[in-house]
Amino acid sequence: MTITAAADGSALGNPGPAGWAWYIDDDRWAAGGWKHGTNNMGELKAVLELFRATSGVDDDLLVLCDSQYVINSVTSWMPGWKRRGWRKADGKPVLNVELLKELDEAIAGRRYRFEWVKGHVGHELNEAADERARAVATAFQRGAPIPTGPGFVPLDGAPVPAAPAVGVASEPASPSLFDLADGGDGRRTVTVDLAADEWARIERRARRAGVSPEELLRDLAARA
């Protein structure tokens, strides 16, 4: 089986508030970013996080990318950079070297290929990744919550490890639904004991909203 995913980056002002995103479909995508970064940083980070997210499956990976810089870095330039101690042919240090080193490690032993796609021409997967990367950059610019996405679920529907209960408990879970603890600083820790199907419903709702389950629950609490 081949996993087909788009990866993209965005930086407002370049450099400026920056985001990255990879996208397979509406149920399988992730995004993140920085308060200050470049477009190339976002492009590299998107591909890096895609490889990391899919590291647990034995599938080929087709990466759709509108960045020639990323494609050439991985498929053409990286071997020479490594031979020269991560320096370019002119002896100058390679830019974004830490991201490139992490990407070099992440692709080791993987079966993958890159396909260049032209950006901003209506390519469905590329547009979806671009939209999410820009949303993160915009969120950093406005100080708004970051839309991180649901992450990766194997395409064959294989189960993933069960999510832990929300909150932190110092004792075994009680039979009640809620366990409240006074943090002593005006905050309360809420431990929620949920059945597997209840947690699954929360995860699905969070996925549709493009946030983590924890962020969804905090938002629900704030509206109560």
Q: Is residue 36 flagged as an active site residue?
A: no
Q: Which of 8, 49, 179, 203 is catalytic?
A: 8
Q: What is the DSSP string of 51-118?
A: HHHTTTS--EEEEEES-HHHHHIIIIIHHHHHHTTSB-TTSPBPTTHHHHHHHHHHHTT--EEEEE--
Q: Which of 32, 43, 49, 179 is catalytic?
A: 43
Burial class (CB in 10 A: 0-12, 13-18, 19+), 48: buried
Q: Is residue 104 flagged as an active site residue?
A: no
Helix (H, G, I), strand (E, B) or coil at 136: helix
Q: Element (H or E) spanning 139, and its range? A: helix 124-142
Q: Is residue 60 flagged as an active site residue?
A: no
Strand bridging mode 60-65 / 112-116: parallel
Q: Which of 49, 66, 179, 203 is catalytic?
A: 66
Q: Which of 109, 120, 184, 197 is catalytic?
A: 120
Q: Is residue 9 flagged as an active site residue?
A: yes
Active-site residue set: 8-9, 43, 66, 120, 130
